[in-house]
A and B are shown apart, each in its own frame.
Chain A
Amino acid sequence: MMRCMGTAVCPGIVLERCHKLVALPKFDTERKTDAPVDESLMTLTRAVESLQAEYAAFVTGAQVGASADVIAVQLAMLGDEYFLEGINECIREGYAPEAAVLRMAGEQEEALRALDDDYISARAEDVHDLGVRLACLIAQVPYPSLANLEEDCIVVAHDMLPSMLMKAQVCHIRGIVIETGTKTSHVSILASGLEIPMVVSCAGAMGAGENEWVYMDGDQGYFGHSLSEAEVCQYAACEKAYRQQKKELQKFIAREARTADGKRIEVCTNIVDSITLDKALAYGADGVGLFRTEFLYMNRPSLPTEDEQYHILRQAATRLGGLPLVVRTLDIGGDKGVEYLHLPQEENPFLGYRAVRICMERPDILIPQLRAILRASAAGNVQVMFPMIAIRRELLAMKKAVEEAKMQLRGEGIPFAEDIRIGIMVEIPSAVVMLDQLVPMVDFVSIGSNDLIQYTYAADRMNDKVSYLHDFMDPAVLRLIRRTIAVSDEHGIACSLCGEMAGDEIGLAVLVALGITKVSVSSSKVLKTKQLISRLNASSLENIGKDLIKATDATEAIRCLRAGLPADYPGGVREGKL
């Protein structure tokens, strides 16, 4: 097998026949023609009408959302008088019709890209797409299309425009591998939304032969072609095992997560928007343990209004029924996409002006967010959680702000849940140390293990040179987690953990050993987490928990943990680090 490495975009293991997408044709934008202008104008008109008809037909079948939006925009562009007039001008100057189209499209693309606004600039992709489609119609050259797929395949391409995927016979596409592209490009996002296994940036993938058996791993991010017969059998078995695993996991959708000895552990999920919420609901999560509100603030020209936030939160709360929706207030610093906040440039943004530290000085940010959360609490089980609490004074300020927002809403006669639950993220070591004084002030806490580990060992998790310090099995962090759970229990306060370690097989096991009863993981991990929990014996693990915190190092802790795990429990290769 020839193996090509790429970037994983959407998970899935597939062995299937390959369908190669023919390359996008190249046109000469300088080409002039001797044909009479009238003839060229006619050719153009026919092509435009033909494409309009194609799109109109597509609109009736399109899914709501991203696809429908792209079509609406392209249709409007196709009928734009300036665009068409511009093309006509080029034709009158003697350019061949397809050259004229591409020149005009190119001009509009540049004009859009020059604008300051990220959103609008992204529309340049649509103009480009449109131009190429028109040019193909004019030149009567096939536009690489997946619309006529009749058999299952893995589509392999050098490049793929979003409209190709939108018009595709998606039911026959078992996977996508492209040689270029990024994880966040439009087409990657579309494929992820459709849950089609996908690998991008996979150099050499087009070396595959048309219709040969090929293999892709959308979890690890690689693609294999030129398989020997033996390899085809081998990978067919891998795929079968993978499908079997997936099927096994489906059983857990309707099941509550309980350990082998019957202890109930809640498995909630982290979301950023309504799409991730959909997935959470589809996988039977016990609620939303973390709604990351940053995404409502990023990549836009200005602050989201209270109403905008309220509508999103209310919709989420309603769809969750009575299940909890824990909304974390703005947890952001000088990150990309919030230039409108004009935050100062900092040397150490993660040790700097972010989250509640900003909110304490910016009631114009904090109060509207709190009002939106409170208003949404009238529609469901909404809870509010403050990130980055380091000292008591910050929590007092946040609680005061909640009271202020409540008072305003009361005065305006706007309903909200008076007894809305308030909690904090425990992610700064000082909070763990002083937890006994903080816990009486809140209704719940959630351990943010990612940041807790960074701050505890003073090591940046993005820095390879200090990655050895990012080990959730190290006794220091185990003791901090243990303390947090114990102090919460003493005060009758709910304690959960949201962080990457909960999504790790060993991490989950050690959390159960330390006494955790609720975790929040990414939606793609909900089913797997429930399954893992069903394999753990809580009492065996909890007995070990006392010894765990006496371990002198991570290796000892792991060895200790293993004694409480079933022999066939995964995580065999030591992966305590993240």
Chain B
Amino acid sequence: MAGEQKGRFAMIRVLFFAQLREVLQTERLELPLSARTVADLRAQLQQKGPLWQEYLSSSRSLVAVNQTMQKDQASLCEGDEVAFFPPVTGG
């Protein structure tokens, strides 16, 4: 792992699917990693406005980290891909 460079941030990618993407009008974000857990990331994104507050609540959205469904306690690392989406309706 390279040593810290001036101005370099650890980044994560955040994706939004289906109705969440439509309501928040956001398909993806590249963010500096400041949240330690999924719960922290939810809280951070919910600051963006009332629709974010509502639709990113634990009761309305599921989360996957690196394509595996996770709970709110899951920790986040640099380079992670986090996806928020409504309860699934396949099959």
Our verdict on whether A and B bind, yes or no, reads no
List B residues at the A interface (Cβ < 8 Å).
Answer: none
List A residues at the B interface (Cβ < 8 Å).
Answer: none
